[in-house]
Amino acid sequence: MSKYVFFAPNPTSIGFLNEEESFHAFRVLRLRNGDAIRILDGVGGLYEAVIDSIDSKKTSFVKLQLIEKQDKPAYQIHLYVAPTKQMERMEWMVEKCCEFGIHTIGFFVSKNSERKEMKLNRLEKIAIAALKQSKNLFLPKIQTLAPLKQVMDSIQIGSKDQALFAHISDPPFPTLGKQIELNKSYHLFIGPEGDFSGEETNMFFGKNYIPFSLGKAILRTETACIATTHAIHLAHE
């Protein structure tokens, strides 16, 4: 059983690793022709394969064999966040949420946002690395930054969905674990450190989004994202 795990979407019987994965296999792990590897496809599949040819730019594999296939889980987590000014904090958040298991991480601009633009390439690489490290089988979709209303309008809420938003209030709303119904697709909004504006809060209520609290402490944005993701998983244990 190979301990070397790589990411390759839509693998085929004679497939290839991309340049970044090839570099890691050849230069870092120093693998050779004939070595066994494992491959994650990011959509529930885990495979074994054998390296056929290897160099730092393009590595091919053969003898692809499916060893595990997971159906979509009974519940899904779709997280939307107003990004912080420091991208390092968003990178850390993406890594940790992916380790727990998450299906979407999207970003929005709100009135009190600290960041109005961002590049997703590095976040996508961090998500892949976290997938490989955690051995989760689903790679989250990283969605580009967009205005809050546009993100909300893009979400179709059906009978199998719940839409919620973190809301600081006095007295506080019930905690997330008490507000959710089990085995749903959860669309969760985490605001900036200045919180949502009154107009934005009214917009959530107007669309029947459910407010929730994360406890008495005022959390940083990235901490709130991780706590939210973990709370959903804990509720389903």
pLDDT per residue as tens digits for the range 144-174: 999 999 999 999 999 999 999 999 887 789 9
**Domains of the chain as residue ranges with CATH:** 5-69 (2.40.240.20), 76-235 (3.40.1280.10)
pLDDT tens, 16-29? 999 999 999 999 99
pLDDT tens, 169-200? 877 899 999 999 999 999 999 999 888 999 99
* Average pLDDT score over residue span 129-150: 94
Element (H, E) at 26: none
pTM of the model: 0.91
Kindly report the backbone phi and psi dihedral angles of residue 200, in degrees, each rounded to the nearest multiple of 5, phi listed first.
-65, -40
Question: Which residues in 6-33 are b (16+ Cβ under 10 Å) and which e?
Answer: bbbeebeeebbbeeebbbbbbeeeebee
User: Which pLDDT band, with edges at 50, 70 and 90, does 1 fall under?
Assistant: low
Angle between the N-to-C axes of helices 87-100 and 121-134, in degrees from 0 to 180, rounded to the nearest 10:
30
Residue 2 pLDDT > 70, yes or no?
Answer: no
Kindly report the backbone phi and psi dihedral angles of residue 149, in degrees, each rounded to the nearest multiple of 5, phi listed first.
-60, -40
Write down the pLDDT at residue 90: 95
Residue 195's nearest CA partner among 179, 172, 163, 178 is 172
pLDDT tens, 80-110? 999 999 999 999 999 999 999 999 999 999 9
DSSP type of residue 209: P
What is the rounded average pLDDT for all residues in the chain?
93
